[in-house]
Amino acid sequence: KKLSSGEIRQMFLDFFKSKGHAVEPSASLIPVDDPTLLWINSGVATLKKYFDGTVVPKNPRITNAQKSIRTNDIENVGKTARHLTFFEMLGNFSVGDYFKKEVIPWAWEFLTSDQWLGLDKDKLYVTVYPKDKDAKALWEKTGVPASHIYEVEDNFWDIGEGPSGPDTEIFYDRGQSFNNLAEDDPENYPGGENERYEEIWNIVFSQYNHLPDGRYVDQPHKNIDTGMGLERLVSVIQGTKTNFETDLFLPIIKATEQLSAGKTYGQGGRDDVAFKIIADHARTVTFAIGDGALPSNEGRGYVLRRLIRRAAVNGRRLGIKEAFLYKLVPVVGDIMASYYPEINRNKAFIQKVIRSEEDRFAETLDAGLSLLNQTITGLKAKGETVVPGATAFKLFDTFGFPVELTKEIASDQGIDVDMKGYEENMEAQRTRARAARGDAQSMGSQDKTLMAIKTASKFTGWTDLQDDAKLTD
């Protein structure tokens, strides 16, 4: 019998508990006191206060499963086997306590010992930073043959300023049959851009402070920061083709099949991508709204709007005509109930928010799609390949299509979008709106008699203001 995702998450936490770690719950997806981040995107993101010494933790050893959102991976969802917009990062952390010689053998023990996951050692590969001879020696001492250790220049964790250091990554060889590249392709190695070697765990040896002047100096204490994607690990253990056939996603996909016009997952092609996008986005928006985010036209809210609308368009592709994403919330809630019971507790609210966003978009979705399709057909007839900026802007402004969505639909048909033209249209609208606001303010200070004149028919500020209101609701 294969381990379930719930069992695997718990085993990770239990393993590090047995190594003296304090088990902490996931923090919210919405950063607290951290203007540098839109979303919590890793386990360490909520623990920076310990790493930089602002707060001293009770126990310098911490382990958690942290909810994470990465919008930079939106376009990868459904295309690669391993990228999601929402995932859980399993982590163990040392705040000035243990370092390389403990963390490397522990990672190996958890992955390969029969008492824990018992993975096949032959399928595991590691990468190290070329100058980090300690890490390489420690892996060899732990039992990894030199032929499974790759030196990769990228293995240095650095965010410009602040804590940084070399890292080591662990990969699982899924086999050449899952690869998108030929066996002899130069990118076909652990750490290369391929679908064969799946990065499962990243271990950062956070030992330097990257100063504003570019120098690297030793930190007062050395930290360990690790992150392993739960969904990737579950996929390896459950032996699935991608992350999406695991018990974390399959019930969502099955429920989507039921809602669709007789479509079934696993036929290959673009419909499978649609199922995956919907399953991924259902989890992301459910958890984000559960943590207090709401759709809007800015920042986090814009990300939610983009995800919900992208899911809606992919639903159309599967023949789903009505709001449906909200119906997947209880499915997500049931899958996650053992570790995140709050989802089912808050599901009525989460569903209401998603449904109202879906209903709102439904009013313009079909008209927008038909405008875009007509435009594309027209372009193709003329042998052209670029959607004009004005059309992309109209799709956004009148039909609620986030421009990224327009780009994606067009690119499915080999067509580009004139982004510069789109930005110019957007900027022109902002200028109109600003001018209108200026007029409106000066109106307020004008003489009452002037204000009373009802025939100011040339004054177009109010309609512009209304457009502006639509933009920023």
Binding site for Mg ion (CB under 5 A): 199, 202
Which of residues 7 and 75 has its CB atom nearest to ligand ATP in the complex?
A: 75
- Cα separation of 459 and 405, whole Å? 35
Name the binder of 317 from ligand ATP, Mg ion, none, CB < 5-8 A by kind.
none
- Which is nearer to ligand ATP, 73 or 97 (by Cβ)? 73
Which of the choices Mg ion, ligand ATP, none does residue 82 contact, using the CB cut-off of 5 to 8 A by kind?
Answer: ligand ATP
**Are 336 and 260 within 8 A, CB to CB?**
no
Burial class (CB in 10 A: 0-12, 13-18, 19+), 382: exposed
Q: How far is the CB of 44 from ligand ATP (least distance, A)?
A: 10
| Residue 232: contacted member of ligand ATP, Mg ion, none (CB under 5 to 8 Å, by partner type) | ligand ATP
Rounded-to-5 percentages of helix, strand, coil across the chain: 50, 15, 35
In the window 210-229, what residues touch ligand ATP (CB under 6 A)? 227-229
d(CA 366, CA 370): 6
* Nearer residue to ligand ATP within complex by CB, 201 or 340: 201
Question: Quick one: 152 or 410, whose CB is closer to ligand ATP?
Answer: 152
CA dist 102 and 226 (Å) reads 13
Radius of gyration (C-alpha) of the chain in whole angstroms: 25
Q: Which of 15, 39, 50, 87 binds ligand ATP (CB under 6 A)?
A: 87
Among the listed ranges 32-40, 78-86, 331-339, 380-388, the one in contact with ligand ATP (CB under 6 A) is: 78-86
CA angle, 368 then 302 then 354, to 5°: 75
Q: Which is nearer to ligand ATP, 79 or 131 (CB)?
A: 79
- Least distance (Å) from ligand ATP to the CB of residue 336? 16
* Token duo for residue 133: 């001879």
Residue closer to ligand ATP (CB basis): 78 or 461: 78
Contact segment (CB under 6 A) with ligand ATP among 83-91, 298-306, 366-374, 406-414 equals: 83-91
DSSP annotation of 146: G
Q: What is the DSSP string of 59-125?
A: SSEEEEEEEEE-GGGGGGBTTBSS--SEEEEEEEEEESS--HHHHHHHHHHHHH-TTTT---GGGEE
Question: To which H or E segment does residue 54 belong?
Answer: none
Positions that interact with ligand ATP (CB under 6 A)? 70, 73, 82-84, 87, 89, 199-202, 227-229, 231-232
